[in-house]
Structure 1
Amino acid sequence: MAPSNTPAAVADHMAAVAGSLKSASTTLANEFVRQYVTATESGAVDRQAPVEAFEMAVRVIDLCANGLTGPTGPGPAADLPAGRGARIALQGKSVGEAVEWLRLLERVVADHVLAHATGGMDEIRAAITRLAELFDVLCTRELESFTSTYNELAGWQARVSTDLLSCLIAGPAVDASTVNDQARMLNINPHQRFRAIAAYHDPAPTPQQWMRARRRIMEVLWRQDPRREILLRERRGLLLALVPIDRSGPGPVALLTEMLDGEPGRSLFVSAGEPGASLSAAGHSCRQALSALEISIYRDQRGRVTQCTDVILEVLLAHNRWVSKRLIETRIGQLVEKPHLLDTLRAYISCDMALQRTAEELVVHPNTVAYRLRQIATLTGRDMRRITDIGDLSVALMAFDTIQMRRDREEARTDLRARLFA
């Protein structure tokens, strides 16, 4: 073959290749279908798939033939409707499947051009280059179709997920059938146990910091749930997830505890609610996780997973303000205006009623502690040496803390539910 690079020679060769492709379109389409169906063969047989693949191949080959004789640029190949990429996105398959069929067809067409080449190397190279450009246009259109549909689907899933979590967290009893229908739309099995996990980043993170922290949290949760059936709601610095727990291996609490043992533990508060028997019954777990997280933040218990059962009394008191107020009024009402006595009582309880240890904790003389304890006993009418009386005072201190925490919420400092669904 004598080399030639004149425009006329290239144009003549392009026309010859185009004619060859048109005459061999049926043969090439059949070869493509044979290779494509074999490569994608699975247990489920779709009898319509070979027919659709054949029709697509014939149309693409015809467009390529027209594109070889048309002007440079995308040419008529851009007229091919981009629909397969959208279907791949709707089926939840990978982005690679949106274009792999085109790349396979490109190899079939290129092999035919090389096998039936009659021109020089420059003409052959020009034809192959032009075909590659045309297939690049087709692949770009399919990728755009996939991306557009994927983004729309992700946005829809996020809205449904948000609505579902909002419904569960609201408090009133939910209609199980409605919850189950929404879960199935998200491809989630509602008839399994779910547990709520909440996380809070302190101090307020930058977008980059939150992205890193969120990625660490989600990597842990996806280890627990590789099928990705997690329901998620977040704002920068705050995250609530409902995680299926009927899985083998360590649970989410154990995995998160391991994660918090490192660098993330310095800035993250994490909490967990009690498991719900099904998705429709998991609302209480969400509310427990958020309440436990508020208590964890108030107590500065970062770097650990605060389970609802760890702070169950505080959670109950936080949800019943009247009970909290009555406990304070009837047990430590006389101490509220005397913070030094409240601090002494708190230290005395945390030090297991040991006078010397309490004095060391407060950095005062033991006689000072003894004097204050006598004042507390006089004002409350309790015996500071009796376990039952100390237990009553301890519960009253918890109620006092929950009231202070609610005051913080009302001042918009730690109302996590409002921040999450604002």
Structure 2
Amino acid sequence: MTQRAVRGGTPQPPPTFDGVMLHERLRDALPTLTARVLDRLVDQVPVYDTMPGEQLRGEIQRVVEQGIGSFVDMLRSGRAPDENRLLALRQSAAKRAEEGVPVEAVVRAYHVGAQECLHQMLAHATADDLEQVRTATQLVFQFLERMTVTVVSGFFAERQAVLGEEQSARQAVLTALVEGADVPATAARWGLDVPPCYLVLDLAVGAHPDEALDGVSPAIAAKRKLRRLRVELDRHVDGTALTALSGDGGLALIPCRTDPDHVTTRDWSRLATAVAHMQRVAGADIMAGATAAAPQDVPAAVTLAREVRQVATASDRPPGLHRLPDVLLEYQLMRPGPARDELAALIRPLTDRPELLDTVRAYLHCGLDRRRTAHTLRVHPNTVDYRLRRAAEITALDVTTGTDALRVRAALAALDAEAAGSAPPA
């Protein structure tokens, strides 16, 4: 297939400036052009400045020469680069992907080369070469189009392969950690390091408003939410998180460079901030249970994080990060047994009077402040007083007194555990 400009269906001869064929000018200037392209890459594309000298003056220089040579052949013949030349450039792009060079840097390198070729040609153009300038410019853009497609396809084919291997490695290590298998052996097999500790997150993710919109695919909306959640998680944690997530939640293991006993308040604060950002970006509530564990203790930690999250949900805690110290009382009270049943029975009579039960809950959440409770419930403070008196008459527990307030809080936790039906096992 010819890409040379035609006039009236007749192929045109190779373009010339000032009577000299352009492919000859570029061929003769190849060493100078190559040096200029390399200098610009080092100066203007930072990743090339970090490459070892032998790579830059060896492999990268050969790739630049091949690219310019391909354009020289296109100027001479009017045909696009053949498959052999394209294969070499595609393989070079794949190597850059394997090395972690950004695709924009690779594409920009070809644009720099094309610019230098164009500058070299235009330096010899005269006023009589307008048509030839147009032809040469068209060929430059056609060449860039072909190179961009070739380079990007080679780059992303390799990147997908690398990502697939990385994902397989992470999933293999995650499975070994959760199942209590030989984690060091699994990690070594895949070439991954195992940190001294993981911050274990059990996540329950609510629905995004788009998932309920008429005409919007809930599956697509959920996938978009999940993608944003994953990106935000990776952005806020150090290292690579091991995850098993779906649209409604899942598990995340965050690597930590200290042992579990030395995880700091700052570490937990940073993780809580990450969860808050994930919630904001995902556009959905996130309830998270968290704990820290050495690799060999991850199976038990996964169970504990899930239980903490369930207890936080059942006890009406707000969305966000919750640890065992945050729900100690509720966690203990929600464990099945005769004591829990007796506690739940203390407050169960209010289940037939939801306005009284809601008022008792709100009063406790508002720190035993009747005015804050009234504001929260959007009722008059006198209404709060009346409802609390009625609750005390029915249950024989006065939540306005210190002793009974503790018993009522415990009874509510036990009642919520019964309702949730998913309390931690004894």
TM-score range, shorter chain: 0.5 to 0.7
For structure 2, the 5+ residue unaligned runs are 1-5, 212-217, 258-263, 369-381
What residue in structure 2 maps to residue 108 of structure 1? 116
For 1:199 and 1:31, how far apart are their aligned partners in 2? 56
Q: Quote the offset at 1:54 in angstroms.
A: 2.5
What residue in structure 2 maps to residue 181 of structure 1? 188
For 2:190 and 2:322, how far apart are their aligned partners in 1? 28
For structure 1, the 5+ residue unaligned runs are 374-384, 410-422
What residue in structure 2 maps to residue 126 of structure 1? 135
Counterpart amino acid of residue 52 in structure 1: E
Q: Quote the offset at 1:150 in angstroms.
A: 2.1
Counterpart amino acid of residue 63 in structure 1: S
| Selected match of 1:70 from 51, 63, 77 | 77
Q: How does 1:256-267 map to 2 (within 5 A)?
A: 256-257=275-276, 267=284
Over 3 Å counting, the alpha-carbon distance change for 1:159 and 1:263 in structure 2 is: closer
Over 3 Å counting, the alpha-carbon distance change for 1:182 and 1:317 in structure 2 is: farther
For 2:254 and 2:111, how far apart are their aligned partners in 1? 39
SS in structure 1 at match of 2:100: coil
SS in structure 1 at match of 2:151: helix
SS in structure 1 at match of 2:253: strand
What residue in structure 1 maps to residue 304 of structure 2? 288
Alignment pair present for 1:269 and 2:269: no
Q: Which moved further from structure 2: 267-276 or 67-76?
A: 67-76
For 1:386 and 1:41, how far apart are their aligned partners in 2? 69
What residue in structure 2 maps to residue 20 of structure 1? 25
What residue in structure 2 maps to residue 58 of structure 1? 65
Alignment pair present for 1:146 and 2:163: no
Identity %: 15
For 2:111 and 2:24, how far apart are their aligned partners in 1? 22
For 1:176 and 1:315, how far apart are their aligned partners in 2? 30
SS in structure 2 at match of 1:324: coil
What residue in structure 2 maps to residue 311 of structure 1? 327
Counterpart amino acid of residue 295 in structure 1: V
What residue in structure 1 maps to residue 272 of structure 2? 253
Q: Quote the offset at 1:139 in angstroms.
A: 1.8
What residue in structure 2 maps to residue 240 of structure 1? 251
Over 3 Å counting, the alpha-carbon distance change for 1:82 and 1:26 in structure 2 is: same
What residue in structure 1 maps to residue 236 of structure 2? 224
| Selected match of 2:52 from 32, 45, 63 | 45
Q: Quote the offset at 1:312 in angstroms.
A: 4.1
Q: Quote the offset at 1:11 in angstroms.
A: 1.2
For 1:123 and 1:348, how far apart are their aligned partners in 2? 85
For 2:65 and 2:247, how far apart are their aligned partners in 1? 50
What residue in structure 2 maps to residue 96 of structure 1? 104
Alignment pair present for 1:369 and 2:377: no
Over 3 Å counting, the alpha-carbon distance change for 1:348 and 1:140 in structure 2 is: closer
For 1:31 and 1:324, how far apart are their aligned partners in 2? 76
TM normalised by structure 1 equals: 0.68
Instruction: Output one character per residue of 1:187-219: Cα deviation in whole Å (capped at 9) or x when no partner.
Output: x66245534252421479434554565466456
Q: Quote the offset at 1:137 in angstroms.
A: 0.7
